[in-house]
Amino acid sequence: MSVRKLKPITPGQRGRVVNGNDAITTDKPEKSLLAPKKRSGGRNNSGRMTSRYIGGGHKKRYRIVDFKRDRFDAPAEVKTIEYDPNRSAFIALIQFEDGEKRYIIAQSGLKVGQQVVSAAKAQPEIGNAMPLENIPLGTIISCIELRPGQGATIARSAGAFAQLMARDGKFATIKLPSGETRLILTTCMATIGTVSNSDHQLVVSGKAGRSRWLGRRPRTRPVVMNPVDHPMGGGEGRASGGHPRSRNGIPAKGYRTRNKNKASNKYIIERRKK
């Protein structure tokens, strides 16, 4: 993993930092695992804009990723490490002994030719998936299920990882990337290792046009709007905008929006850092 700082030969290249993509081994995806991806442009089923600042961008095709890792006790060989336009992490193409191919989220350090397996009692090596009840305490994990059989939902983005802290009865204590510590059933699956492409956070696009290629339209600051458009709009001259809040008037920066009576509160041991 590495990043490259480009020479300022054009205004758009000045200050631009690109991903070295050292880990990527091919730029041709597996055709059988591609699906069409329709763009909404921020519109709902009646054509009304419900999310602003979305639209345009390069056409993409979705890569069908196996988040469940539900083919147990079947070793698979890593064939390629690939870029995925739909997520920040890299993906790995694995092939089972009977010829079936699947995409999985690539862990940092995963190499072409390496064997990975999903099993109840696999070796705790990078890329292997196993239930939390069989993973050694203190292990760095990622792609964690929240409910058994649901598929990975936690720690899936570039560079993300969690740590298995303890086990007590049917629950395991996990320290999440946000800093939150919570209980998860030990029958849930997790993958050993940190998610790949940890340098993603160091990338600098260099120009506004690159955001447009990604389908992000220019964002208008609430302070420069009129009072009819946003609670922070209006005022004579350059007004500060008052208390930071959303378009609907919900306060930002410190205001807690989580329901005090939410059922999953009892599983959270320690809240994330403020």
Three-state DSSP at 184 gives strand
Cα–Cα distance list, 131 to 75, 108, 138, 180, 195 (Å): 16, 20, 15, 21, 18
Q: Which tens digit of pLDDT belongs to each residue from 184-204? A: 999 999 999 999 999 999 999
Residue 1 pLDDT level (bands cut at 50, 70, 90): low
Which pLDDT band holds residue 111 (cuts at 50, 70, 90)?
Answer: very high
pTM of the full structure: 0.91
pLDDT at 6 over 80: yes
Helix (H) or strand (E) holding 270: strand 268-270
* Residue ranges of domains in the chain: 3-201, 225-269
DSSP 8-state secondary structure symbol assigned to residue 209: H
pLDDT of residue 21: 87
The pLDDT value given to residue 252: 93
Mean pLDDT over 221-245 rounds to 94
CATH number of 225-269: 4.10.950.10
Residue 42 has pLDDT above 70, yes or no: yes
CA-based nearest residue to 74, from 127, 124, 116, 30:
116
Quick one: pLDDT at residue 13? 94
User: What is the CATH code of the structural domain delimited by 3-201?
Assistant: 2.40.50.140
Q: Which runs of consecutive H residues, i.e. helices, occur in 124-236?
A: 208-213
